[in-house]
Amino acid sequence: MPSEFDVASLGPCTVPSPLARYHDHEGRTIEFVDDRECILVDDRLCRVSDRCDAGGGFPALELAGPRRQLFFEPGRVRIGIVTCGGLCPGLNNVIRSVVMSAEFHYRAEKIFGFRHGYAGLVQSNGWIELDSELVSNIHRLGGSILSSSRGPQDPARMVDRLVDLGVNILFVVGGDGTMRGALAIAGEIRARGLKVAVVGIPKTIDNDLRFLDQSFGFETAFSQAVQAIDAAHAESKGAPNGIGLVKLMGRHSGFIACAAAVASGEANFVLIPEVPFRLEGPNGLLAVLRRRLERRRHAVIVVAEGAGQDLFPEEAAERDASGNVKLHDIGAFLARRITEHFRATGFEVNLKYIDPSYIIRSVPANPADAVFCATLGLNAVHAGMAGKTEMLLGQWHNRLVHVPIAAAIAQRNRVDPTGPLWLSVLGVTGQPLSMM
Amino acid sequence: MPSEFDVASLGPCTVPSPLARYHDHEGRTIEFVDDRECILVDDRLCRVSDRCDAGGGFPALELAGPRRQLFFEPGRVRIGIVTCGGLCPGLNNVIRSVVMSAEFHYRAEKIFGFRHGYAGLVQSNGWIELDSELVSNIHRLGGSILSSSRGPQDPARMVDRLVDLGVNILFVVGGDGTMRGALAIAGEIRARGLKVAVVGIPKTIDNDLRFLDQSFGFETAFSQAVQAIDAAHAESKGAPNGIGLVKLMGRHSGFIACAAAVASGEANFVLIPEVPFRLEGPNGLLAVLRRRLERRRHAVIVVAEGAGQDLFPEEAAERDASGNVKLHDIGAFLARRITEHFRATGFEVNLKYIDPSYIIRSVPANPADAVFCATLGLNAVHAGMAGKTEMLLGQWHNRLVHVPIAAAIAQRNRVDPTGPLWLSVLGVTGQPLSMM
Amino acid sequence: MPSEFDVASLGPCTVPSPLARYHDHEGRTIEFVDDRECILVDDRLCRVSDRCDAGGGFPALELAGPRRQLFFEPGRVRIGIVTCGGLCPGLNNVIRSVVMSAEFHYRAEKIFGFRHGYAGLVQSNGWIELDSELVSNIHRLGGSILSSSRGPQDPARMVDRLVDLGVNILFVVGGDGTMRGALAIAGEIRARGLKVAVVGIPKTIDNDLRFLDQSFGFETAFSQAVQAIDAAHAESKGAPNGIGLVKLMGRHSGFIACAAAVASGEANFVLIPEVPFRLEGPNGLLAVLRRRLERRRHAVIVVAEGAGQDLFPEEAAERDASGNVKLHDIGAFLARRITEHFRATGFEVNLKYIDPSYIIRSVPANPADAVFCATLGLNAVHAGMAGKTEMLLGQWHNRLVHVPIAAAIAQRNRVDPTGPLWLSVLGVTGQPLSMM
Amino acid sequence: MPSEFDVASLGPCTVPSPLARYHDHEGRTIEFVDDRECILVDDRLCRVSDRCDAGGGFPALELAGPRRQLFFEPGRVRIGIVTCGGLCPGLNNVIRSVVMSAEFHYRAEKIFGFRHGYAGLVQSNGWIELDSELVSNIHRLGGSILSSSRGPQDPARMVDRLVDLGVNILFVVGGDGTMRGALAIAGEIRARGLKVAVVGIPKTIDNDLRFLDQSFGFETAFSQAVQAIDAAHAESKGAPNGIGLVKLMGRHSGFIACAAAVASGEANFVLIPEVPFRLEGPNGLLAVLRRRLERRRHAVIVVAEGAGQDLFPEEAAERDASGNVKLHDIGAFLARRITEHFRATGFEVNLKYIDPSYIIRSVPANPADAVFCATLGLNAVHAGMAGKTEMLLGQWHNRLVHVPIAAAIAQRNRVDPTGPLWLSVLGVTGQPLSMM
């Protein structure tokens, strides 16, 4: 019974893994993972019992990890890697891990790094060769040594390039747009009957991807954002009726805003795309802000960039090269509206607006993300060597899994306004349950 | 059918939760968790199918979270909190979260903080009163504002104190020794027929507790340890045949050493309690170190404090106040043996020994641990209010769960020498598979 | 012969300092400083020789330090402290040091902290009492525990408050506007024949004060700014023809921009108020930026907020509450103009604009600033106890000195476009000598 | 009249500096420095007046900076650089600055980096060629990309190597031992009548060099040490009668201990080589520590490694390869003695010993040190190009100066037990004036 979670592969695996030579001090081999080892998508007892009573059928995700038999031949495999879309902490760590794993564990013949995202797959000279020496220190650097770009390219031309270079596995690091591009490449590959694996490593600084407990770089990003909230807090207390207003990333999902606010413990209002709010009215932000200022004389507001978009007049949306709708600038808007409102009502406030923007995404990965990226890269290589394709590396219930790209991008992960994270935010901020 | 994972409780919950007043912008209440909502201990498809075929029985852990009905009455509940054993990043965050959650969500009548661990439960003046004002900034500080101590105290006297103060819920933050003490307290409470809940919040900087994906403070600790490895790396390259040797925490489990080594990317040898090694012989550390130096002219060795204990002569073990066996100092031992060995063989080496010791555990929690501790504290209060007792907050497959203390301390979490973490370490270090 | 550098005092010092009880292990007393111990303003040999030949007259600044005889009586002295203007790293350290020095060394009877700048001197309840216990941890926090505000207040009312509270010494922490306010207070005090000392502690995050080698907080601020430049660098390399543009503080002086650029080593263009530049023309910024991009494919531009103000149309200047002219937003202007220019010329660029704004000034002081602030506060108290007034603590040629406020604010410290700092910038950036 | 401060040079400067082409926007050339521009060693007014009255003679130090005329020809000059002794933050920054300044400002023909200290001058293959590309990112790394070593080498062989490679200027980065080695090289050069300049860049993490307001790396080192003190503070409060004991670098001078203690604000006792103390007796450390613990229940002790050496039995001193006497381990000694003492007196204490050792010296330079190192390197190149030799770059009264090596190493800079730094320490710690 085919399921939406079945992972495609290029064919039967018949080459023994070189990792079988690894033995521990007691002679045991490493733990290979069998394709049939899956973990349940829904592991709640009640649901499992129900399904059991109903005669079975447990949707499950394939576990990532080294396979005993491979599709590609170690020593002769050629791999490519490309990073697309906006920067995210850990890109270099992922690149480094893919390169080192391919070289050390599977003795890849050649490793190509495509520069400037998918554009590097269609430009002449769009790639460089990578090896462990070259990547040995890149995990100390923010950004991507391969650079990046936005937007799609012609799948046919990209596959031509892969064929020219003899690439067997293409690792694609990027967000949902990038993953759609990966599917287009894989479709072209399938149409031509080629044996090239396309393995996705999901990158979403907003942490909004399905089947991904936490995306790489997310932790580094919100940790960095804490600094901006702390600065806003100091500013808010540094002047009479001080208001510190911080805009953070988060187009569709407020995870960064929520996590940074809880970590900092200094935010008094968190505004996210998932929870609408009004400015005016007795429960609107302006009124509750006034009450807070009267009571405590200072306030810190954290707003995710995608929050409050309904406060702007409806108009034809602009889009960027990735096809993302250009958001209205809610931070500048709030700064202006709050200042004007209190000036009009003769209530002195001192608003300081902080927009750390790219600072939170351009820093090097912190140690926890470094470990996570190392693991992601390693397991992506395991997957590619086993001929897995059109899939990406997810993390579900704390284990790395293989998820078909189509399933992963089918819906977006968002903060649940009735769930535990938002309850933590309410507890930390003391903000009203609803500002509608 | 009672299972080892059934959580004890003080009795039926009949008081409506004040959290029921929380509604989101669409009028939905928050997500209450039902006691019957459990997650499987083993969520692998094959095991689930087998059990289903065999007629069911799925061992499962109770999910943490707010309960719709409570055992204790909000507004009249009195709580106590105590931190025991060695310091760990995040202790103050946990205290802060317990206090704030108890005060804001459940309007606790009084909150007692016992000072100096269990000793504060038997000393006169062993406690202070806590409130949200007092704890508002403590998450910025390392250590514990309640201080700590090692070793058990008389359960009868501790329960006397709880009774005197009218404490309804005691939150115990500590490691396995502390949890045994918590069981002793709970036993005394049961014997007296009292209605006092004992809720554990597990603290293990070594990350070695069962049913705990990751312990609070662990990430901060290994992140801090990266600094020591980086220093060792700089030193190793700063002199001819430089050797940087770093000793890190890890009595029984090498998680800190492994994670820090992978994050840093600079370690060449990682020695942990789970993987024995020899000094002498053709595959021993001294020989492989010599080969590494001849090839690369520098080397970094990371050793967990519990590694290589079998290299010392057998003798009657000393124990500390917590009952832990005093370990032999493997760091100083290796420093001396390596230096002597190479001096004796006329091969110049420059060994620099770094023992960051308490530095890695006394720092404030990093933002990710801050978020985790906030969540732990909040859910511990949810559990206590529902009359859960003799249990601790675990994290299993990325969700917070209630685990009976007895089940949680039944075995220790250790690095698997055939598992994925150790495979990452081997890939990063390039060290031989066995040094026996 | 009175000089512009003569420091005013309230009268003869007749009370022995309690510091005379300090002896070292050989019985020596601490080094008291005599008022006649001055250091030359100009210590260049040629100038000294000339003056010597001309019969003397060496302009000199009074050294700060403990005096053997005091004007005020230890144990009975009451002091006040106020922080004015914008935030700056180290404000809390200065407050802490003044409080601790006054309490420990001179047993001050009472210490008043005025809240919200000069406003706290005219409002009822505008002050709190400070002591060492209360300030013991404040050096870990950014901002000012006393808060701040901009703008002057009525000197007569402020002096009334000082008289009411019995304040003998007022410590004023602020910039040049604040120091003018301090002179107004001191004038009123003189007019009334009171014996109240007014001691300034100069605060200028822009480092632009005369007779101040380096202002407190400056180092912390530019260190923090390095982070923004590094982010801009990562972004500039993260997209084809990437341009990272960073706006930093610096209204009249580009010290922060210069120091941060040299420390980072990643800036390619530094634009400061002291060095005019053009956008258009063969040597203008747009042309040289184009050449840089063609050669290296990425560029980082650091602009001080006061740079390029002549690029905006002349108009009536707005002023803020401190009387500072509101600057045109050169950062947003450059972002727009650069983007438009290259779009118009059909040359793809990807500009990322970063404005860390308040983040660089709201952080806690770094350890070096912490030491400096501790020393400043201590020596301000020494000065006040000796009845010094209408002066501020300067640092000249690496020693703390007393400078009459009038002399200190007579001119502004600026980056010399022919001097060594700018030469360092040119060397690090490789930018053209002139963009006119 | 030759003075001990006269700087030697290789001969008259006749080549125009290429820096003369630098003009600012108003057409002014950069500020060249004339050799006769010196600053007074003693700039106190009273001393200057006395000397003036006595007919002059003002000892003065030559200012560093670019010279209008050079001794060596830009474009043809070859330079060498070597780093010796222990690591220090900023070594790579200095190397980078020397290389970039030599290349960009003076178009050096070749730049040789000798590896492993002076050893690289006598070994075949002891050097690598450096250029700006190669050093562009090294300032992010701790340690020295050239590595280092201790101990002298044969001057004749070292000069042979310089001659072989055609080196015109040798930059020597190191401490007093290294500077003695530089004098030996310069002596050999003089004896052979060669025209090779030897320019020192003083490196002393202990900040103990004469005519050096502050040495590079010192600030980074003490900033890092603050972390250890903060950890000790958290530990001291984490157990009953907790004692946090921290050992810091400082063989002869306690500058790191003092600065870190003042910055942290948490130390209660600072023990440095300059201030002797006793353990026993009514004023000894053990007694005052006991009184502190009885009063406050915790204590933090910071000890410089060179403190208390007289507490050890007199014996024949061992020396390391640099000729430094091997110090007794005062940290471990105190840990043992304090623990034993209180155990013997039946007073429970919990001592935690922290020795950050190499961690504080192996980190990358912080931004302030980065700026300082950039300036040092640039001015060292200016000096070398002008044929200055047997001198080093000092910093006196906040300006960079040329100091004859012989004068600079004639005495050591130490903390004055009656001076302002120690007074700050006493104020911050509250420790007794004498523990004798």
Residue B2 has pLDDT above 80, yes or no: no
Chain A neighbors (3+ CB pairs < 8 Å): B, C
Q: Residue C299: which of C290, C307, C308 has the closest Cα?
A: C290
pLDDT at position B233, please? 98
Q: Tell me: the pLDDT tens digits for A247-298?
A: 999 999 999 999 999 999 999 999 999 999 999 999 999 999 999 999 999 9
Query: How would DSSP label each residue in C324-386?
Result: PBPPP-HHHHHHHHHHHHHHHTT---EEEEEB-TTHHHHSPPPHHHHHHHHHHHHHHHHHHHT
Residue B322 has pLDDT above 80, yes or no: no
Return d(Cα B363, Cα B366) in angstroms, integer.
8
Q: Whole-number mean pLDDT of chain C?
A: 95
With an 8 Å Cβ cutoff, are B24 and A418 in contact? Answer: yes
Name beta bridge partners: C202.
C174
- What CATH superfamily is the domain B219-362+417-429? Phosphofructokinase domain (3.40.50.460)
Task: Check for a shared fold between C8-215+365-396 and C218-362+417-429.
Answer: yes
pLDDT at position A118, please? 98
Residues in chain B with CB shorter than 8 Å from the CB of D241 are none
Return d(Cα B306, Cα B328) in angstroms, integer.
8
**Residue of chain D nearest B87, judged by CA positions:** D238
- The single-letter DSSP state of residue C113 is E
More reliable by pLDDT, A54 or C119? C119
pLDDT at position D436, please? 87
With an 8 Å Cβ cutoff, are A240 and C355 in contact? Answer: no
Q: Whole-number mean pLDDT of chain A?
A: 95
Residue carrying structure tokens 């026993």 = D280
With an 8 Å Cβ cutoff, are A56 and B49 in contact? Answer: yes
Return d(Cα C328, Cα C318) in angstroms, integer.
10
Enter the tokens of residue A114: 């495509």
pLDDT at position D435, please? 92
pLDDT at position A192, please? 98
Q: pLDDT band at residue A315, thresholds of 50, 70 and 90? A: confident
pLDDT at position D27, please? 87
With an 8 Å Cβ cutoff, are B231 and D362 in contact? Answer: yes
Q: Which of D48, D60, D262 minimises the CB distance to C58?
A: D48
pLDDT at position D189, please? 98
**Which of C93, C235, C296 is the best mutation test for A, with the most CBs of A within 10 A?**
C235
Q: Whole-number mean pLDDT of chain B?
A: 95
Task: Give CA angle at B260 (B256, B262), nearest 5°.
Answer: 120
**D367 alpha-carbon distance from chain centroid:** 17
Q: Tell me: the pLDDT tens digits for B340-366?
A: 999 999 999 999 999 999 999 999 999
Residue carrying structure tokens 């000036």 = A343
Q: pLDDT band at residue C138, thresholds of 50, 70 and 90? A: very high
Return d(Cα C205, Cα C255) in angstroms, integer.
9
Q: pLDDT band at residue C320, thresholds of 50, 70 and 90? A: confident
Phi/psi-derived region of residue A243, left when phi > 0, alpha when psi is between -120 and 50, beta in every other case: beta
Residue D314 has pLDDT above 90, yes or no: no
pLDDT at position D24, please? 84
Residue C1 has pLDDT above 60, yes or no: no
Q: Tell me: the pLDDT tens digits for C420-429?
A: 999 999 999 9
Question: What's the whole-number mean pLDDT along residues C203-208?
Answer: 93
Q: Report the CATH architecture of C218-362+417-429.
A: 3-Layer(aba) Sandwich (3.40)
With an 8 Å Cβ cutoff, are A31 and B419 in contact? Answer: yes
Q: Tell me: the pLDDT tens digits for D80-106?
A: 999 999 999 999 999 999 999 999 999
Question: What's the whole-number mean pLDDT along residues B148-170?
Answer: 97
Is the pTM higher than 0.90? The answer reads yes
Residues in chain A with CB shorter than 8 Å from the CB of C149 are 239-240
Enter the tokens of residue A205: 């600084």
Q: Tell me: the pLDDT tens digits for D126-166?
A: 999 999 999 999 999 999 999 999 999 999 999 999 999 99
Q: Tell me: the pLDDT tens digits for C396-431?
A: 999 999 999 999 999 999 999 999 999 999 999 999
Q: pLDDT band at residue A215, thresholds of 50, 70 and 90? A: very high
Name the residues of D annotated as catalytic. 206
Return d(Cα C139, Cα C369) in angstroms, integer.
11
Question: What's the whole-number mean pLDDT along residues C23-37?
Answer: 89
Q: Tell me: the pLDDT tens digits for B32-47?
A: 999 988 999 999 999 9
Domain ranges of chain D: 8-215+365-396, 219-362+417-429
pLDDT at position C433, please? 85
CA dihedral of A164, A166, A168, A169, whole degrees rounded to 10: -60
**Residue of chain C nearest D217, judged by CA positions:** C368
CA–CA min distance D240, chain B (Å):
6
pLDDT at position B323, please? 76
Q: pLDDT band at residue A1, thresholds of 50, 70 and 90? A: low
Enter the tokens of residue B9: 């409780």
Residue C203 has pLDDT above 70, yes or no: yes
With an 8 Å Cβ cutoff, are C240 and A362 in contact? Answer: no
Q: Tell me: the pLDDT tens digits for B124-133?
A: 899 999 999 9
What top-level class would CATH report for the domain B8-215+365-396? Answer: alpha beta
Could you give the strand order of the β-sheet that contains A110-114, starting from the edge strand earlier in sequence?
Answer: A38-40, A60-63, A399-404, A391-396, A197-202, A169-174, A78-83, A110-114, A127-129
Residue A25 has pLDDT above 90, yes or no: no
Supply the ipTM of this predicted assembly. 0.95
Q: pLDDT band at residue D23, thresholds of 50, 70 and 90? A: confident
**Residue of chain D nearest C104, judged by CA positions:** D427
More reliable by pLDDT, D24 or A97? A97
Enter the tokens of residue C143: 């901002």
Residue A415 has pLDDT above 90, yes or no: yes
Residues in chain A with CB shorter than 8 Å from the CB of C142 are 230-231, 234
pLDDT at position A318, please? 79
- The single-letter DSSP state of residue C222 is H
**Which of D418, D425, D433, D434 is the best mutation test for C, with the most CBs of C within 10 A?**
D418
Active-site pick, B42, B131, B160, B206: B206
Q: Which of C147, C227, C240 minimises the CB distance to A359?
A: C227
Question: What's the whole-number mean pLDDT along residues C14-26?
Answer: 91
Residue C323 has pLDDT above 80, yes or no: no
Residue D227 has pLDDT above 80, yes or no: yes
Residue A240 and residue C152 in contact, taking contact as beta carbons nearer than 8 Å: no
Question: What's the whole-number mean pLDDT along residues C215-239?
Answer: 97
pLDDT at position B1, please? 54
Query: How many beta-carbon pairs below 8 A join chains A and B?
Result: 214
Q: Which of B147, B238, B355 minimises the CB distance to D237?
A: B147
pLDDT at position C316, please? 67
pLDDT at position D316, please? 67
Q: pLDDT band at residue D386, thresholds of 50, 70 and 90? A: very high
Residue carrying structure tokens 């759609």 = A180
Name the residues of C annotated as catalytic. 206
CA–CA min distance C104, chain D (Å):
7
With an 8 Å Cβ cutoff, are A30 and B65 in contact? Answer: no
